[in-house]
Structure 1
Amino acid sequence: MIEAVGLTKRYGERVAVDRLSFTVRPGQVTGFLGPNGAGKSTTMRMILGLDAPTAGRVTVNGRPFVTLDNPMREVGALLDAKAIHGGRSAYHHLLCLAQSNNLPRRRVDEVLDVVGLTAVARKRSKGFSLGMGQRLGIATALLGDPKVLMFDEPVNGLDPEGILWIRNLMRSLAAEGRTVLVSSHLMSEMEHTADHLLVIGRGRMIADCTVREFIDRNSALAVRARTPEPERLTAVVTAAGGKAVHEPDGALLITELPLPRVGDLAFDHGIRLHELAPLQASLEQAFMELTKDSVEYHAAIPGEQQ
């Protein structure tokens, strides 16, 4: 378990992390989300004792990371997959870590097999692709068989098969009762991987809830309808206080009225419906809506007037 209370980090006048309090529980995958510059990496570095908090505290299994007797056996982390000596093979990189942390040699072969690098274990890591480097970084995190795992952008450089693999790996680790914290910009992947979300913006916590709760709270109710009489249905919906927008494929996107109400209105006015379905918002849509005021850097749209 990871617990933070009032966690704060300042760099001069700039507040990177502002009084964060949260708990990352075992047995589930917790997604750590936020726009660039939100403070995610700084928070993860403070959890691992790489940066000291200005105020507040954060503990791993009830203790600050720097006081852990055997840190690799308790916490595994992937923060920078490139932090590997390029002249070493994957095998010797892991072996060096195993020997310096009093871990059995057999763990090297075990984690290489888990991440699918056995065939290239003796090759120098400087020749690895980005995806292979990510797999080696994940192997490093797993080496001590820890109960707490932290991954920062773990799917960078992975192909579709690799992304599916890391998704299943994380969920299996959580199913074993481990604590799994994952930071990612791929909302579609987090929607399929995470059970719980921590969302921060400008260093502050703006959401701490399940994925389903996050989507429901931060997306507008919408209904998709298809009818041979779109103008009549539009008029009926508008008169009832709803809004209807014509989609390019001819369907209507109706908001501000629940689906049963739309169906009843169509029935009462004798309007034939060929389709009536709730429009489910994605995690990405909900995330963009919630964090739109927390984005630090805004790029101009090409051709847009400044």
Structure 2
Amino acid sequence: MIEVNELTKRYGPKAAVSDLSFTVRPGHVTGFLGPNGAGKSTTLRMMLGLHHPTSGSVTIDGRPFADRPRGMRHVGALLDAHDVHGGRTAQAHLTALAVSNRLPRRRVGEVLEEVGLGDAGGRRIGGFSLGMKQRLGIATALLGDPPVLLFDEPLNGLDPEGVKWVRGLFHRLAAEGRTVFVSSHLMSEMENTADFLVVIGKGRLIAAESLKDFAARGTRQSVSVRTPDAAVLRTVLTDEGAHVEPHTDNSLTVTGLSASRIGDLAFQNMVPVHELTPHTASLEAAFMELTADSVEYAAGDAR
């Protein structure tokens, strides 16, 4: 379990992270989301003792990570897939880490096979594609078979097969009772991967809750209705308290009423309905809405 308590990191007058508190529990994949510049990478580095907080604390299974002399047995992390010596082979890179952390050398071959690099262990890392480097970074995180795993943008450079594999890997690790914390900017992938979310903006906590709850509270659900009597149905629904937006193709977008209630009202008023489609809450829409005030660099509308 990861516990972040009133964490603050300042660089001069600027606060990259400000009074941040949340808990990441085992048995789940927890997504870590926020706009660029929100403080995600700084927070991850403080978790690993790479940056020292100005105030506050982070503990992993009850202790600061820096207090663990053989850290890879307790926490595995992928922060930057490019941060490796390009002249080394993948096998040499992992072997050096295994020896320094007193891990059995057999783990090198095991994790290379697990991430699909079994045949590439003897190749120099400088010749790897970005996707291969990502797989090597994941292998490094898995090397110590740790109970806690941190991943920063683990899907960069992966092809669709690789993305599907990583998704399955994270679910399996969580099902084994591990703590899995994944920072990503890919909303669609978080919808398929994460159970819970921690969302920050400008270094402050915006939400720490289940993915379903976050999506639901961030945006109103709507219903699309298509009918040849759009004007009549619009009046009926408006009188019932709904907000109705008409379109030129005789369709309506309705918020404030459920699809079943709209169908009942149409039937009671003898209005034929050719389409009635509820639209569930979108994680991306919720994220954009709830972090709108936390975007550091916002582009203007193209004219």
Listed as ranges, the matches of 1:139-288 within 5 Å are 139-246=139-246, 250-288=250-288
Q: Which runs of 4+ in 1 moved over 3 A?
A: 246-251
Compare 272-281 and 151-160 and name the one that shifted more: 272-281
TM-score (normalizing by structure 2): 0.97
3-state SS of 2:123 partner: coil
Q: CA deviation at 1:223?
A: 1.1
- Give the distance between the partners of 2:249 and 2:203, measured in 1 at CA: 41
- Structure-2 change in CA distance of 1:268 and 1:166 (3 Å): same
TM-score, normalising length: structure 1: 0.96
The question of whether the paired residues in 1 share the 8 Å contact of 2:65 and 2:71 is answered with yes
Output the aligned Cα RMSD. 1.3
Partner of 2:300: 300
**Alpha-carbon distance in structure 2 between the residues aligned to 1:230 and 1:24:** 49
Determine the structure 2 residue equivalent to 1:106.
106
Q: How far apart are the structure 1 equivalents of 2:77 and 2:249?
A: 47
Secondary structure of the residue aligned to 1:31 is strand
Local SS of the residue matching 2:241: coil
Question: In the aligned structure 2, how far is the partner of 1:26 from the partner of 1:158?
Answer: 26
Cα separation, 1, equivalents of 2:249 and 2:137: 45
Distance 1:301 1:142 in 2: 44
Could you say if the C-alpha distance between residues 274 and 185 of structure 1 is closer, same or farther in structure 2, counting changes exceeding 3 Å? same
Distance 1:92 1:16, change over 3 A: same
Aligned length: 303
Deviation at 1:250, TM superposition (A): 5.0
Query: What residue ranges of structure 2 are gaps of 5+ in the alignment?
Result: none
- 1:248, CA displacement in angstroms? 7.0
Which residue does the alignment assign to 1:96? Answer: 96
Deviations 1:46-77 (A, max 9, x none): 00000011111110110001101321000000
C-alpha change, 1:248 and 1:231, in structure 2 (3 Å) is: closer
Amino acid paired to 1:286: A
Shift of 1:259: 2.5
Mean Cα displacement is larger for which, 158-167 or 260-269?
260-269
The equivalent residue for 2:39 is: 39
Q: Offset of 1:301 from its aligned partner? A: 2.9
Q: Aligned AA for 1:205?
A: L
* Alpha-carbon offset, residue 249 of structure 1: 6.2
- How far apart, in 1, do the equivalents of 2:113 and 2:231 lie? 61
CA distance in 2, matches of 1:246, 1:120: 58
Deviation of 1:13 (Å): 0.4
